[in-house]
């Protein structure tokens, strides 16, 4: 990359000009601001202690050295303490010729021996997937793809939370009020049906709590005394005791949920290399806890519950096994983490989980280390922000969650309405139009969510996400389709994709150079996105590339260019740009249409 070449030569310049050896980390080279002439800018101020000269004189001397010793530097200018360097047209043409035909441009070869394990989704089997799950799945899947592109081996895993008190609540409600209700008899997806019974439990339980409070109990006392919650807790004990009738109902309802989840995952374009089930892993956590208890690492209270003392770490005591012998989430996560380490010996173990669980993962790492697992330092909690809607937060207990399936239907319908109004389906068959609406609707949903830094809370507005002129998925998809249309027209006139000859006899215009500079950045953007676990860096990069290309397309003739060499250069440049757009969108899990 040109930045590395320049930094290396600046280090040499300091040595030759000022007889000083400096670390390359002191050299600050950045993109030149648009209001100034140049491609890259050296910030001179950190180097003044070596030159013992003014910022302007130092910049002039370094600039002269670089121009004399680097063929890549065409010219330079100095503005106060900033040296603006202009990269030669030859460099850009060489970059273009060397990379324009590379279908894997930007990707690094996989060299790692140990994989990165990325856990995402992790749904509960007491409710359908909702908008928060969509953000989780999209972030997790995109991070995994970006890591692969950066040269990492990746294992995508899902931990299904298929046991616990929340599952017992759905089961109890179905037993009490279901009357044999099934997905077939109700006409509902299995996960939606089970979710409705979870909401039913909470509604009925709240009535019970209100009745007890009217009898004089405090809210806390009423919550503990509620007959429904006592029954649900009893159901959980029977489940952990392997009672057949309870296990049969649990298996039946979970199968309904899995079938529903799979339909949602398929439409979202999500898959996993391995799925873990909490019902199969939680016992391992209990075994590890019991072993650590015997070693004195953990302690048991008088009521029989088991705890970890984290007061030396500035935290409190953490419950691991309840007094009734049932385990908590932390216990299961201890077991699952150990299981994954033994299976994969991962370089990193990344958990994509909302920021409300920040404390949980701090505690998980501490307890794992207390239990003798130094690899716990390799655990990363990718803590993402919450998704809110224009009308406020979602609440699953109150049944006000935004169902993932319903949202995807809404996105399809909105894409259909907007696309038809803009007249972008002329010549499409009914099936082709339907496929286009799905591509646009899902692209709008995914891009709108992924363009926001994962760690930030976000407001999702379905209508705003489908805008063919804004910072949206459809705007990027339309630009890709425009490029493909251009190339089809060119092919009808004799142009062949993957033009094989080196392009030399053209003078690159500023608009063309601006596109080349962005294409040049692509490998670095992938690395940066991988290092920061941030699909937003890719999403925002594509938008800048598309915006730059559209300006070029509007202002510079392509098929009407009389000079054949220049026309071919612009066509290959368009093809190269289209390929990077498609590759980038694939890293976000987004399809691009060939026409629209």
Q: How high is the pLDDT of residue 396? A: 44
DSSP string, 580-594: HHHHHHHHTT----S
Q: How high is the pLDDT of residue 400? A: 52
Closest CA to 511 of 567, 563, 551: 551
- Angle of helix 473-492 relative to helix 564-587, nearest 10 degrees, comes to 140
Closest CA to 37 of 89, 76, 90: 76
d(CA 310, CA 366): 8
CA 4 to chain centre: 28
DSSP string, 50-69: HH-S-HHHHHHHHHHHHHHH
Instruction: State the fold for domain 120-388.
Output: Rossmann fold (3.40.50)
Q: What are the E-state strand segments in 99-153?
A: 116-119
Residue labelled with tokens 């970006």 = 146
Which portions of the chain are predicted below pLDDT 70? 391-400, 497-500
Identify the bridge partners of residue 381 per DSSP, sorted by sequence position: 351
Contact 548, 582 (CB under 8 A): no
By 3-state DSSP, what share of the chain in percent is helix, strand and coil, each rounded to 5? 60, 10, 30
CA 569 to chain centre: 35
Architecture label for domain 2-87: 2-Layer Sandwich (3.30)
- Cα–Cα distances (Å) from 486 to 497, 529, 572, 578, in that order, read 12, 31, 11, 11
Question: What is the overall mean pLDDT for the chain?
Answer: 93
Closest CA to 69 of 149, 12, 126: 12
Contact 413, 398 (CB under 8 A): no
- Cα–Cα distances (Å) from 502 to 100, 203, 498, 522, 578, in that order, read 10, 71, 11, 22, 19
Q: How high is the pLDDT of residue 474? A: 94
Q: What are the E-state strand segments in 92-205?
A: 116-119, 154-160
Q: How high is the pLDDT of residue 164? A: 87
Q: Give the β-pairing of 299-300 and 306-309.
A: antiparallel
Residue labelled with tokens 């359908």 = 128
Closest CA to 591 of 469, 483, 447: 447
Contact 74, 88 (CB under 8 A): yes
Q: How high is the pLDDT of residue 92? A: 95
> Domain segments of the chain: what residues?
2-87, 120-388, 404-587
Contact 334, 289 (CB under 8 A): yes
Tokens of 155: 């294992």
Neighbours of 167 (CB within 10 A): 26
Top CATH class of 404-587 equals mainly alpha
Closest CA to 538 of 469, 473, 463, 445: 473
Q: Residue 492: which residues within 8 A CB-CB, separation 6 or more? A: none
Contact 190, 260 (CB under 8 A): yes
Q: Is 426 exposed, middle or buried (0-12, 13-18, 19+ CB in 10 A)?
A: exposed
């Amino acid at each position: 990359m040109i930045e590395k070449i320049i930094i290396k030569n600046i280090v040499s310049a300091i040595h030759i000009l000022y007889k000083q050896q400096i670390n390359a980390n002191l050299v600050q080279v950045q993109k030149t601001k648009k209001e100034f002439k140049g491609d890259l800018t050296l910030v001179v101020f950190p180097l003044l202690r070596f030159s013992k000269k003014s910022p302007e004189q130092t910049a002039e001397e370094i600039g002269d050295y670089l121009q004399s010793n680097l063929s890549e530097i065409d010219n330079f200018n100095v503005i106060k303490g900033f040296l603006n360097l202009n990269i030669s047209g030859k460099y850009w043409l060489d970059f273009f010729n060397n990379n324009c035909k590379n279908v894997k441009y930007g990707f690094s070869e996989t060299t790692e021996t140990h994989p990165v394990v990325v856990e995402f989704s992790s749904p509960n089997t007491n409710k359908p997937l909702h908008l928060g799950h969509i953000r989780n799945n999209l972030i997790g899947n995109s991070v995994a793809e970006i890591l692969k592109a950066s040269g990492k081996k990746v294992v995508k895993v899902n931990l299904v939370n298929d046991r616990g008190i929340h599952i017992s609540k759905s089961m109890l409600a179905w037993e009490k009020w279901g009357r044999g209700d099934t997905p077939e008899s109700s006409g509902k997806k299995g996960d939606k049906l089970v979710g409705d019974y979870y909401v039913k439990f909470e509604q009925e339980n709240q009535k019970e709590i209100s009745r007890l409070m009217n009898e004089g109990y405090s809210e806390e006392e009423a919550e503990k005394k509620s007959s429904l919650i006592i029954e649900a807790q009893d159901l959980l004990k029977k489940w952990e005791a392997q009672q057949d009738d309870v296990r049969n109902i649990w298996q039946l309802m979970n199968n309904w949920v899995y079938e529903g989840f799979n339909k949602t995952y398929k439409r979202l374009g999500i898959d996993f290399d391995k799925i873990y089930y909490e019902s199969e892993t939680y016992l391992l956590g209990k075994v590890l806890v019991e072993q650590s208890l015997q070693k004195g690492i953990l302690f048991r209270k008088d009521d029989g519950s088991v705890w970890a003392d984290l007061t030396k770490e500035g935290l409190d005591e953490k419950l691991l096994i309840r007094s009734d012998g049932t385990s908590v989430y932390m216990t299961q996560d201890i077991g699952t983490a150990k299981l994954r380490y033994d299976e994969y010996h991962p370089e990193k173990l990344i958990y994509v989980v909302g920021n409300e669980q920040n404390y949980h993962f701090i505690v998980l790492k501490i307890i794992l280390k207390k239990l003798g697992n130094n690899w716990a330092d390799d655990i990363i909690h990718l803590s993402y922000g919450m998704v809110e809607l224009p009308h406020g937060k979602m609440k699953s207990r109150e049944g006000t969650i935004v169902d993932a399936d319903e949202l995807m239907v809404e996105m399809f319908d909105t894409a259909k309405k907007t696309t038809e109004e803009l007249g972008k389906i002329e010549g499409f068959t009914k099936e082709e139009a339907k496929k286009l609406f799905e591509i646009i609707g899902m692209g709008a949903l995914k891009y709108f969510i992924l363009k926001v830094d994962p760690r930030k809370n976000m407001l999702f507005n379905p209508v705003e996400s489908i805008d063919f002129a804004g910072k949206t998925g459809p705007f990027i998809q339309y630009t890709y389709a425009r490029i493909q249309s251009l190339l089809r027209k060119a092919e009808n006139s004799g142009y062949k994709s993957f033009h094989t000859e080196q392009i030399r006899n053209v003078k690159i215009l500023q608009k063309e150079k601006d596109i080349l500079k962005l294409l040049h950045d692509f490998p670095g953007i992938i690395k940066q996105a991988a290092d920061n676990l941030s699909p937003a860096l890719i999403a925002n990069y594509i938008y800048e590339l598309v915006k730059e290309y559209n300006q070029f397309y509007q202002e510079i003739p392509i098929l009407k260019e009389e000079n054949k060499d220049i026309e071919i250069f612009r066509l290959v440049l368009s093809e190269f740009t289209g390929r990077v757009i498609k590759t980038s969108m694939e890293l976000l899990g987004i399809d691009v249409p060939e026409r629209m």
